[in-house]
Structure formats: C-alpha cells, structure tokens
Structure 1
Amino acid sequence: MLDRRTTITAGLYSLAAATLPPTTATRLALQTRTTARVGPADVARIRAMAQVFGDVDDLYGGGHARSAVAAYLVHDVAPLLQVAAGQIRPDLFAAAAEVTYLAGWMAADDLQPGLAQRYYIQAVRLATEADAPLMRATALRSLASQAVELGHPSHGLALADASADALRGGAPTRTRAWVTGMRAEALAATGHDPRRAIRLLTSTETDLEHADSPPATEWTGNYRREGYEHQAGLTLLNLGDLPGAETHLAASVATRKPTERRTRALVGTRLATVQLQRHRPEAAAATLLGLAEDLAAVKSERLRRTLGQIRNRWQTARTDPTVARADRLLSSVHAGTAGIQV
C-alpha cells in the first residue's frame, strides 16, 4: 500500500476535506480544478507555511492550529497538486509531503492516531511520487514511532527498518543517526536482542558525533544531542534500565531550546514517569514544577493523558509538600486554567 502511486492527489484532497465540516467538504469537492499555472513560487510558499506551522506546533502543541493545517491542505495545497505537471511536479509533491507529515504529527499529539496514520501514509505516497527519499524516510520513521507508542513494537521495528531502507541511496549522517535511533528504540520495545539494540544506539551516537555539518533547518536533518538523549532514554526504558533512562531523559530536558516547549514538556513528563517508577515521587514533582510554564502553554492531549496517569500514580504521596504543589499544577493544566503560580 505504501508503494502505490495511484489516487495520490485524490487521497490527500479527501483526507484533508474530511477534517472540515461536511457542508464545507461537499462544496470543496464540487469546486472546479484551478487553472493557474504552478511554479517555484508556489513551492516556496508551501514550504514557508510548513515552517510557520511547525514553529507554532513546537511552541503550543498539536492541539493548537491543527484545523488550520488541514484547511490549508484543502484550500491551497490539494488544488495545486491536481494540476501540477512538468519539472515543478516533484518539488511540489515533496513540499506537500512536508505539510501532510506535519498534519500527521499534530494529529498524533492530539491523540488522533488513526488520522495521524492516514496523514503519514499519504506523506509517504507523496514523497515516493516526488522521488524524495529523505521525506519518505521521515514519514516512515514517524509511523514507526507511533506504532511503538501504541504498543505494536514489531510493526514499529518493521517500519523503522523500512525508513532505513529508504536511505540506502545516501543520506546525511545526521539523518541516518536519527533513523538508527528509532530502530534501536523499536527493537528494545520488542524485547528481543537487547545487545543489538544497544549496538544500534551506540551507532546512533557515533554517527551523530561525526556529523560533519551543523543541524539542518529541514526536519529530515534536525537531529541534535538532546534528541539523541531522548531516544537513548526511551531505548533504555524499554530495556528495563530505569537509572540509565532517567539520566538520558533528564539531559534531554535540560538542553532543549526555549522554543521547544511541547517537546520539553513531553520529554519532561516521560522523565517524571520514570522517576515515579523508581519510587521517587518528590523528584517527579520537582521535574514537573520546573516545567510549569511549558505545561501551561502547550495544548496536547497526549501530554494531558500522561499528566493524568502521573496524578493517579502518586496519590499516596500527596502529603509531601512538593508533590502537593505539583499536583495542583497538573490539576489546573487538566482543567485548562494553568498558570505559573503553583
């Protein structure tokens, strides 16, 4: 299914339209195809919007502006895909794949796994049509990450391996490290061959250390040390090494950029979860109190679900003053009234 080149534009068009009210989707389906000529300026605009939406997602989470991304796919991207031809077609399809991939990422963060999967698959198709192996690998890697998160590690490993296969024709060292790290995490989650999982993790770190260029602005190459620390933490967690997982997750949180609110909050809640597994509720509470501003700003159902799980796990420790303060913070986040005063 992932290799099929049929119904690509129709699939994207109907998928994006399905996220809008039925009456709007119906009107869009009846619209005639645009006759405007597609050119490099259209590709540049789509990529610029992908960057804007990506920045907003980093700051505020997938629950914010997700409908705007879907509408952008319907109104601006899909009509161009339907008429694109000639030399501009691959570039346009690659740019469309970037926006579609972002839509999938935001849907996953908003706890819409089925919709996220359909967006990711469409991004794979668009990237295949564009002959853009890095974008194809990116979408496959996110499918792998989602499969592992949903409790399907064997499928996740197969998808991570497919992502690596997409890079066999050549890829930046940093991108290869990013994909190898996902293979390590997925293999660890299967419970099979933990030594190989560690070898893959070591290979990830080695590649990252030898990457001969600064982090790329494109998301296919934007893999830095803090990303590796997160990946290492998840891999070690899957292998049952809680102290190691805590060390790496803490390092990831500590080195995140100010603009990476959602990621810092998500990794921070995973760190707090590990600290609770180690019977250290006060440490988990301190971690979350240190993320108060991020938790207040980010709109992410995935984050809210994790915070609810944390509150359930530390019920018996709420007599501790630090835990009590953190619990009030999490309660306000869940109610949508969080502030930085806790």
Structure 2
Amino acid sequence: MAPKRAHPIANTALAAAIDQAGWTHAATAQHINAVAAENGARLYYDRSTVGHWLTGTVPRPEGISAAVEAFRRALRRPDLTTADLGWPGVASSTGAADDPWQGDVVARLRVLGEDDMLDRRTMLTAGAFSLAGLAAPPPVGPARASARRGGAGDVERIRAMTRHMGDLDDLYGGGHARRAAAAYLVHDVAPLLHGTAGRARPDLFRAAAELTYLAAYMAMDAGVQGLALRYYVQTVRLADEAGDRVLRATSLRSMAVQARELGHNREALALADAAASALGGRAPGRTVAWVTGMQAEAHAGVADRWDALALLRQTEAQLERVDSMPDSELVGNYRRESLEHQTGLALTALGDHAAAATHYAASMQTRRPAERRTRAVVGLRCAGAHLQAGDAERAAAAVLGLRQDLEGVVSARVRGELRQLRQGWQGCRSDAHVAEADALAASLLR
C-alpha cells in the first residue's frame, strides 16, 4: 500500500511511469541509484526523494539522466524523454543527440579521452551507460582523407604503447593507468587520425582502435561503465574505418561481456551474435573460439542451457584445432584457462555452482604471473561459487589464497566481488577462516 501523502501529486507523468513500471517509491530510487553506479557515480536517493519529485521537485542533472535511462529499461522505451517523466524543458543528454554511433569519430575520441584524463563528471550528464548505445549499425567503408600525417613509424609506436599499457592493466587493474592511456589518445593518437591518407591510413586507424579498445576495457574494469561503452562504440567505428572485421567483432564481443556483467542478458546475446556475424568465419581460429565462448556464456545468461553447453563444446573443439601462439594475437588472446573461466561463468549463470567452482579453479592453475588482476577476479568468482554451493570455508580459503594479488590491484570488479562475498557469508562469520577472510575483504574495501 502506498503511503498517505501530505502533499498532492504535482508530477502526474512521473507517477504514471512509476505505476507502469510496477515499482514502489523505494524501488524507483534503487533502480535509479543502480544506473548511476554503472557510470561510476554514487546517488543515494530513497523513497522520500521520489516523494519530493512527485510533489514538484526537479532532480539534479545526473539524477535526471539516471532516471531517464532507468525508465527506458523498465518500460522498454528507448525513445522516452525527460518530458515523459514530467520534466519538460529540462535537458537530458541520454537522447539521440548524444548517439555515440553518430558524428565525427575522431572528435568523439578526443572528447572521451579528455573527459577520462581530466576526470570530468560527464559519465552521467553526457555519457551514461545506455542500452541504446548497445545497438551497432552496419559497418561502413573507410572515409577518404585529404592529407597524409601519419606513417608506419607512428603505427608501431602506438602499438608498442598499447602493449605496455596492457601489461600494466594485467598487473594492477583498470584503475591504475587509465588516464595515462586517455592522455596518450588525446595528445598523440587523435591528432594523427585527421587528414591521414595513403597506405598507412588503415593501419593507423587499426592501431588507434586497439588502444581505444584497451581504454574501454580499463574503464569497464574501473567501474566507469558509461565511458567504457562509449570507448567500445568508437572502437567499432575506428575498426570500420580501417576495414578490419576482426577488430569490429572483438569490440562487439567485449560489449557483450560488459552487458552480461551489468545484467543485460538479452542485449549481451545480441552483441555476441553480432560479433560472430562480423567474423563471418574468416578470422584466426583462436579469435573464432573466443567469440563462440562468449556466445555460450550469453546463452547461459538467458537460461538457454542446451545451446550454452553445445556452444561450450564447440568452443573447446575450436580451441583444440588452433595452431597459433596466443601472444601473436593482440585481441582474441584466448587460451585454455580462458575457456575454463568462461565455462565457470556459463555454469554460474545456469546455477551449477559446484561445477563452476571446479572450472574457475582450473582457470587459476596455469595463469601467468603477470595476470594478477585476472587471477584476482577469477579467484573471487571461484570463492563466490563455493559460497553459492554452500561451502563457506572453501570460499574463505580461496580469498585468503589471493591475498598478495588482491593487495596490488585497483579494480571495481574486484571490489564488487568482495562486496558480494561479504554479504553472502554474513551468517558464517563465527567460523575462524571466514572471519579472517572477511577481515581481509573489509580492509581492501576501505
């Protein structure tokens, strides 16, 4: 039953949207806060806040953007505007005018990098994570340019920097050197893209796309989801400029990963299928397996057990036929331990937690020393699977075994896994091992 109101409802449009969504006032606030969290910001709205909005108070810009996106998802109305929520004349940057698929790709890349390196709070007011941004248009041919400014030496320099920053990301997480990558994009890479013509142009755009892809992954790992999505979109567009179908597929596949981690399972499946379609079967075998594995995980996310397991078997067969070394492929660097991790994710989605824990553990066994962040994430997921299977002590042991990796990583995904574990074993903290692991988690989250 709705609470008795001391003041009459002035915003009837918002009241109608809440009613259509089937939300309480508290649930409305929770959904809006969750959208904000996807974009690296914290809003602390509650039922009383929503009550104030209904009586005529207008939220701050970041609250409006988060509210619009939350109701778009709930009502399946990507065209919903601020006016539909009773805030006519109030600008919202989540509309078509800010469509990341439109406009000059280099200009958008500059703005993204500047927002990132200067830590501008535009992820909610100008770059919220939006399901509308997950719909990729058909690929386009590379545009013509009028002057040549970049060459083979620039391409190699960009790729060397991408490899170096990728190594830092593996060791320390996306929260470590993300702004350095952004600054390099803005000051060194973007100026080369405008006006470059000739044979070097596709390679230059390809190298820029690879660095932008890394920036997207780092932003996602750091929890700045709106920014990450926009980086991914520009990666797809840069890949199209280079005429690189494999890099386009790689970006779409990683957008599927992001959608899955945020709980947008149907969108994740559509993106994984789009990645496979972009490859068209013409790609290095390891990359094909990488995309097929994501399709398996996405099918598991929508509870399609038969297809998920069939695709996992197909992925394993594809990986067994691969003859290239993993390190020879900058993107789609898929190995046996990667498949074990993906199998664990698929089984987790299907509710087979004990089996998932076995695969997560297998993924951990052969991880390279440099993969500190990945070991931390996979190890915590292994702990979570043990906990879901009812074995809190093994979950605690898994966390304690990760102490060295956890203390060196700056990652929002790691923090998220730690929070879930702390919530999950609340009733088991009398156990000495659980208490020790919980104390470690608490210290890492402070």
The TM-score, its normalising length taken from structure 2, stands at 0.70
Counterpart residue number, 1:199: 310
Q: Give runs of aligned pairs for residues 152-301 of structure 1, distance below 5 A.
A: 152-168=264-280, 170-192=282-304, 194-301=305-412
Give, in angstroms, the shift of residue 22 of structure 1. Answer: 8.9
Counterpart residue number, 1:7: 104
Amino acid at match of 2:109: L
Counterpart residue number, 1:38: 150
Counterpart-to-counterpart distance in 2, 1:11 and 1:309: 35
Counterpart residue number, 2:414: 303
Give, in angstroms, the shift of residue 66 of structure 1. Answer: 0.7
Higher helix share: 1
Amino acid at match of 1:183: Q
- Preserved CA contact (<8 Å) 2:175 2:222: yes
Give, in angstroms, the shift of residue 216 of structure 1. Answer: 3.4
Q: Please say which structure displays the higher CA radius of gyration.
A: 2
Query: Match for 1:135 among 234, 247, 252?
Result: 247
- Evaluate the alpha carbon distance shift between residue 235 and residue 312 of structure 1 in structure 2; reply closer, same or farther with a 3 A threshold: same
SS at 1:83 equivalent: coil
Q: Gaps spanning 5+ residues in structure 2: where?
A: 1-95, 121-146
Query: Please, which moves more after superposition, 240-249 or 6-15?
Result: 6-15
Give, in angstroms, the shift of residue 51 of structure 1. Answer: 0.2
Query: Please, which moves more after superposition, 300-309 or 4-13?
Result: 4-13
Counterpart residue number, 1:316: 427
Counterpart-to-counterpart distance in 2, 1:3 and 1:266: 30
Counterpart-to-counterpart distance in 2, 1:306 and 1:48: 32
Counterpart-to-counterpart distance in 2, 1:227 and 1:115: 26
- Evaluate the alpha carbon distance shift between residue 8 and residue 120 of structure 1 in structure 2; reply closer, same or farther with a 3 A threshold: same
Give, in angstroms, the shift of residue 19 of structure 1. Answer: 2.1
Residues 134-162 of structure 1: CA deviation (Å, up to 9, x unaligned): 11111100100111111111110110011
- Preserved CA contact (<8 Å) 2:250 2:332: no
Counterpart-to-counterpart distance in 2, 1:322 and 1:4: 50
Residues 15-74 of structure 1: CA deviation (Å, up to 9, x unaligned): 212224399xxxxxxxxxxx9831111000000000000000000000001111111110
1:94 aligns with 2:94: no
Query: Match for 2:113 among 4, 16, 20?
Result: 16
Query: Match for 2:190 among 67, 78, 87?
Result: 78
Give, in angstroms, the shift of residue 317 of structure 1. Answer: 1.3
Counterpart-to-counterpart distance in 2, 1:245 and 1:20: 38
- Preserved CA contact (<8 Å) 1:20 1:71: yes
Q: Percent identity?
A: 55
- Preserved CA contact (<8 Å) 2:148 2:198: no
Query: Match for 1:125 among 206, 218, 237?
Result: 237
- Preserved CA contact (<8 Å) 2:281 2:288: no
Counterpart-to-counterpart distance in 1, 2:399 and 2:173: 17
SS at 2:328 equivalent: coil
Amino acid at match of 2:333: N
Amino acid at match of 1:80: L
Counterpart-to-counterpart distance in 2, 1:38 and 1:95: 11
Q: Gaps spanning 5+ residues in structure 1: where?
A: 24-34, 336-342
Give, in angstroms, the shift of residue 166 of structure 1. Answer: 1.3
Counterpart residue number, 1:54: 166
- Evaluate the alpha carbon distance shift between residue 316 and residue 169 of structure 1 in structure 2; reply closer, same or farther with a 3 A threshold: closer
Counterpart residue number, 1:30: none
- Evaluate the alpha carbon distance shift between residue 185 and residue 257 of structure 1 in structure 2; reply closer, same or farther with a 3 A threshold: same
Question: What number of residue pairs does the alignment pair up?
Answer: 323
Counterpart residue number, 2:36: none
Query: Please, which moves more after superposition, 83-92 or 36-45?
Result: 36-45
Counterpart-to-counterpart distance in 2, 1:221 and 1:162: 15
- Preserved CA contact (<8 Å) 1:54 1:102: yes
- Preserved CA contact (<8 Å) 1:157 1:187: yes
Query: Please, which moves more after superposition, 8-17 or 96-105?
Result: 8-17
Counterpart residue number, 1:146: 258
Counterpart-to-counterpart distance in 1, 2:234 and 2:365: 35
Amino acid at match of 1:74: V
Give, in angstroms, the shift of residue 297 of structure 1. Answer: 0.3
Query: Please, which moves more after superposition, 311-320 or 278-287?
Result: 311-320
Give, in angstroms, the shift of residue 228 of structure 1. Answer: 0.2
Give, in angstroms, the shift of residue 4 of structure 1. Answer: 6.1
- Evaluate the alpha carbon distance shift between residue 202 and residue 47 of structure 1 in structure 2; reply closer, same or farther with a 3 A threshold: same
